[in-house]
Structure 1
Amino acid sequence: MAVTHQITHVVLTGGIGSRLWPLSRKSMPKQYLKLFAGESLFEKTINRNGAFSNNTIVVGNIENYKLTDILMSKMEKPFIHIVEAIPRNTAAAIAFAAFASKPDDILLVTPSDHVIEGSDLYESALKQAIVLANQDYLVTFGIKPTKPETGYGYIEFDHENVIAFHEKPSLEIATKYLETKKYFWNSGLFCFKAAKFLSELEKQEPEVFLASKAAWKANKNGFLDYNLSIKIPSISVDYAVMERTKAIKMVPSRFDWSDLGSFESVYDYLVQKGHPMDTNSNIVIGTSRHTSFVGLKNCILIYTDDALMVLQKENSQDVKDVYQELKSIASPLL
């Protein structure tokens, strides 16, 4: 798609990916792992959106900014790097990118750790979003669900109009959502003008707006001050703006999408790409050592140098409990 507007790709790369422990760590979050055909999710994100944007802004944190610098240097990709002193969630992260942009710049905001396939469908959705953004709407992308997923939030919609946002549902409710065809997964992808986003943020969450503005004004070569940053309320962009603004539209999207937020989604992705699997649908990640699963089905063995985990694929969301337990004892395994 030829770029005819000033479009900036804003990459959010502050997450840890705790539900993919022990692969994902503070020192090497999931977006930087070379787990996907020798390429990281971060690299895939940059390459996927390069054809649609004029500029790139990466918003990360003090713990992972060097990993970003290494990959961007390798790709020889010029970019603006905004380094948070402390994570303050996505509302502030996007605000920093908007402050760093011109008012009429269109920001295409994407996480750095999602898998998106189906380039034609993706391009079509972006074109639709850019048209709406130029009309001063804040645009979110809904993804057509392929199963009753309980790990995602949902957007209730009518064509491009958003009716309501819904939290992660029970399996029973998710099944009803799938049947009605009026609920799409909330992707965490956004498109809007920088000034329009800041205007809505100031209206809905003035404290976040003012504290983020103060932190941005005092930045030094993109590095934000800790004492100013800690004053910013930590709130997601969905809660702060998207669920409360009247100027919202949703692009119903049908490209293949996954946030790879759990080992179940990683399992599905790897198996689709031809990852080895035994006759009982068990797989191994992280080692080439011979592994036998006896009396087990649909299991995943995850191996690292200092940790080993075996889990039932369907219980992948429970990995966050393991992470929280290790966090509570300040384990060096994090």
Structure 2
Amino acid sequence: MSNNIHVILSGGVGSRLWPLSRKSNPKQYLNLFKEGSLFGMTVLRNRELCNKVMVVGNCDNYQLSKEVLDSQGVEYIDIVEATPRNTAAAIAFAAFAAAPDDILVVTPSDHVIVGEDDYASAIQTGIAKAKEGYIITFGIKPTRPETGYGYIEYEGDKVLSFREKPNHDTAEDFIERGNFLWNSGMFCFRADTFLSELQQFEPKVYATALAAWQHQKEGRLDEGFSKKIPSISVDYAVMERSKKIRVVATQFQWSDLGSFESLYDYLRSTGYPVDENGNMIIGSDMYTAFVGLKNTIVVYTDDALLFVQKEKSQDVKKVYNTLEKHQSKLID
């Protein structure tokens, strides 16, 4: 009998949420919410939908995953990447660790989802289609002309095209046309179906990932073999090329919390305080006054202070990249 396996991808750093998110404590492990961390919330929402759990992380964060899963009493299969090789390889490792007919429900570990019943319905629909041999992607009904997400053009459950992150005018056009969804980065498929498609479209990724997996020791991947794997996203490797793709248009509310703007919107929706001009403080109880500022976010940590205009939140990554270029300890 096949298993439904929740595969959690937890390798991201969350550079747009610096200085909260660091290499040693990425955004998915930050306890910013009443419910705990995004990682913990991801585990909980899938417990009744899947009977096994796999975590694909890296040598910097696998202990953080362990702390959360142990606290929830969850047994899991731990796959630790020696070096990041993008999502195509990460998902391949999970498929190699599964039985051929197991259904993999692949999710990031750093998303907020509201609407448990709608979420469960979408996943169950995806599992049913995956059992028929399809590769399922989950699309989110857009609520605004977002330029930070990829889009899926669809008709029924058929994918007509995948679109890269658009400019604002193009995103507005997508919304007006009404047959576009945000690409959530969540997938569902049989393990053997995915591996067959990966081998067809990216044989080098398949072969080098398999070699790395064959030399793993208790889920720890060898660095030398891992470095030979091309770094390619699953979207490019399989999703945009396979003829077996189907989409589930979901009804739940979703955010990848990929910027302080999206974090601000989510926190505000939960009653987090802002002043009369929409200014917000994160990370401190210190009295802070804003004069002549609107929609400004102030982020406190022990060693850094960030002031960002809500609408410019995507540019925080530039600060992170500059610090990384100078090998600053502020990102560790």
Q: Does the pair score TM above 0.5?
A: yes
Q: How many residues align?
A: 331
Distance 1:163 1:270 in 2: 35
Distance 2:2 2:17 in 1: 37
Matches within 5 A, 1:1-334: 6-37=3-34, 39-334=36-331
Secondary structure of 2:21 counterpart: coil
Secondary structure of 2:198 counterpart: helix
For the aligned residue pairs, the C-alpha RMSD in angstroms reads: 0.9
Q: Which runs of 5+ in 2 are unaligned?
A: none
1:189-218 Cα deviation digits (max 9, x unpaired):
000000000000000000000000010111
Deviation of the 1:120 alpha carbon: 1.3
Task: Tell me the TM-score normalised to structure 1 length.
Answer: 0.98
> In structure 1, what residue type is equivalent to 2:261?
E
Secondary structure of 1:216 counterpart: helix
- Contact 2:85–2:229 (CA<8 Å) still a contact in 1? yes
Deviation of the 1:5 alpha carbon: 5.6
1:158-209 Cα deviation digits (max 9, x unpaired):
1100011111111111111111111100000000000000000000000000
Task: Tell me the TM-score normalised to structure 2 length.
Answer: 0.99
Deviation of the 1:72 alpha carbon: 1.1
Q: Which runs of 5+ in 1 are unaligned?
A: none
Distance 2:33 2:266 in 1: 9
Secondary structure of 1:320 counterpart: helix
Distance 2:205 2:2 in 1: 28
Secondary structure of 2:47 counterpart: helix
Instruction: List 4+ stretches of structure 1 deviating above 2 A.
Output: none
Secondary structure of 1:333 counterpart: helix
1:26-53 Cα deviation digits (max 9, x unpaired):
0100000000115000000000000000
Distance 2:263 2:273 in 1: 13
